[in-house]
Chain A
Amino acid sequence: MKILVCITHVPDTTAKISFTDNDTKFDANGVQFIIGPYDDYALARAVELKEASGGSVTVLNVGTAETEPTIRKALAIGADDAIRINAEPTDSMFVAQQIANHAKDGGYDLIMMGRESIDFNGGMVHGMVGELLGMPAISPVMQLDIEGETAKLAREIEGGKEYLELSLPFVAGCQEPIAEWKIPNMRGIMSARSKKLEVIEPTDATEAATLEKYEMPPAKGEVKMIDADNVEELVQLLKNEAKVL
């Protein structure tokens, strides 16, 4: 089975978010970048599927040269080769078109990615890629098993799960507990250095939405501490001050 895993290169979940250039650029100073946590789940499951029944895992990232350490990490986790489409991923539609353009002749049986990136949280690239390729796209997938040409999936819905069956190929936007995150081992890291990372130039695509300005939320007020022996005070505050009861 030939699997394509699309990954994002995003600030670590503990990174301090701030902006520069008059609030038009993310301040990457001192920030560590990681494989998007949801993409990391997709990658882990793809590697498991390959280990169980053979095939290959290709990782794809739409990004500039700065993302290469993140792509190498995905190779160290177990992907076989990688493609970087050399462009700034500023817009979901643009990214989806790049992925679809690459995948349409790629012969992939399965295209996996995270349910959303953790920078822009758009959660739409998988659906767009599915539509552009005329394939089903399912998200958020929390369980994915393949039996021959048929896949069995569980998708999270409000208050529970939905179980689905469909044939390959399709697109899956993944989340936990589809697999456990994999930590690269020494051998993986060594072998990743010599795996193929191909850089291709983007094709013409639509940029549907453009950034004007970033903005930080208003600062939170001070916390009011209440004595553990006086929970009645909390009830009064919730009732009269917060007005939520």
Chain B
Amino acid sequence: MAILVFIEHAEGVVKKSSLEAVSYAAAMGDEVIGLAVGSIDEGALKAAGNAGASKVLHVTDEKLEKGIIQAYAQVINQAMESTGAEILVLAKSSLGDPVAARVAAKQGAGFVSNVSDLPDTSNGFKVKRSIYTGKAFANVEIKTDKKILGLKKNAVELKTDGSEATVEKFDVLLSDDSFKVTITSQDKATGEILLPEAELVVSGGRGMKGPENWGMIEELAKTLGAATGCSKPVSDMGWRPHHEHVGQTGVKVSPQLYVAIGISGAIQHLAGVNSSKNIVVINKDPEAPFFAAADYGIVGDAFEVVPKLTEALKAAQN
């Protein structure tokens, strides 16, 4: 039976996390059908085939240009019905999560989020998910026929060797009831590397002393091609925007490299970074708890170390 994957895109490009979701579904062995909503080039959707989709359903209803949660849930319900898919796979995102929750309730589907590995179907349907903000895992069994898997980043390797998918227009019936919410505006950084998707992250804490010192964080991030993040007090004080706040109560990141500068490493901050592949800590206090969670550490004053590190990186790039 086919598996349906909800495919999100931003600025005309399919999100990497959605391609991971396609790869994940492909690794499960059944036919993979993607579902994309909104204006995006057919070519960009065909490329989802490389990750393992055989077909992508494309919904182009104008009313869906803005991500109205209820309407998107309706679209997914109809796509599951029309394809006969019993399993929906999607990446964790600010749109996907609330949409999937509605689909789950509507269809009585078992929904597991933060899934970190492929399912074990040898005896029932069991998946591993991250819990306690990355501090542990739970293996759970989904008992319902219909199933929804919300994936954590890096749950599987991205597949790139598939062949082009066919793109089919998919018409939906939208009820007025789904449009009780008006999105009045969006205030969104464009052209920046988005933190939840980033492979490299440079993050600054209260040790940076003030927003005026963020130039060196940005310069290091730019040199690396990294996104910028921060600790909670930094966003609480308004030094940086809230969407950069990493940790228990902020964004959870799982990049290849997380560089923490002037951040003490409180347990609530670590909760947001503990699935990073490599962690570098720069802190003037050798006793800072972050060092215990780090792979590489430098004890030193950020105001001296960071510019030197940026220079060394630039030198290595040449």
Contact = CB atoms under 8 A, between A and B. Distances in A.
A221 interface: yes
A93 interface: yes
Interface of A: 11, 13-14, 17, 19, 37-38, 92-93, 96, 118-132, 134, 136-140, 142, 155-167, 170, 173, 175-177, 206-217, 220-221, 223-228, 231-232, 234-239, 242, 244-245
Main secondary structure on B side of the interface with A: mixed
B297 A224 contact: yes
A226 B298 contact: yes
Interface stretch (B21-29, B36-44, B273-281): B273-281
B102 A137 contact: yes
A217 B274 contact: yes
Nearest to A228: B300
Give the top 10 A-B pairs by smallest Cβ distance, nearest first: A127-B101, A228-B300, A208-B110, A160-B188, A124-B101, A131-B105, A128-B105, A131-B102, A215-B137, A244-B257
Contact of A136 (B132, B181, B301): B181
B258 to A, nearest CB: 10
B231 interface: no
Given A124-B101, A127-B102, A235-B309, 7 more contacts: A122-B114, A127-B97, A134-B177, A137-B69, A162-B186, A224-B295, A232-B316
29 contacts: A17-B136, A37-B248, A38-B249, A120-B131, A121-B131, A123-B97, A124-B100, A125-B101, A126-B98, A127-B105, A130-B70, A136-B180, A138-B98, A156-B243, A159-B189, A159-B243, A160-B186, A161-B188, A162-B183, A162-B187, A166-B182, A208-B144, A209-B110, A209-B141, A209-B142, A215-B136, A220-B295, A221-B295, A223-B281
Contacts of A14: 267-268
A227 B297 CA distance: 9
B126 interface: yes
A93 to B, nearest CB: 7
A132 B70 CA distance: 12
B94 A215 contact: no
Contacts of B277: 242, 244
B188 A139 contact: no
A223 B292 contact: yes
Interface residues of B, number: 96
A231 B186 contact: no
A129 B67 CA distance: 19
B56 interface: no
Given A123-B97, A228-B305, A157 B73 contact: no
Contacts of A211: 138-141
A191 to B, nearest CB: 29
B245 to A, nearest CB: 8
Nearest to B247: A13
A176 B248 CA distance: 12
Interface of B: 10, 67, 69-70, 73, 93-95, 97-102, 104-106, 108-114, 126, 128, 130-144, 177, 180-190, 192, 194-197, 199-200, 224, 236, 241-243, 248-249, 256-257, 267-268, 271, 274, 277-278, 280-281, 291-301, 304-305, 308-309, 312-313, 315-316
Contacts of B94: 140, 155-158
A118 B243 CA distance: 19
A170 B98 CA distance: 14
A165 B181 contact: yes
Contacts of B236: 176-177
B185 A163 contact: yes
B137 A214 contact: yes
Contacts of B294: 223
A13 B181 contact: no
A108 B315 CA distance: 62
Contacts of B97: 123-124, 127, 139
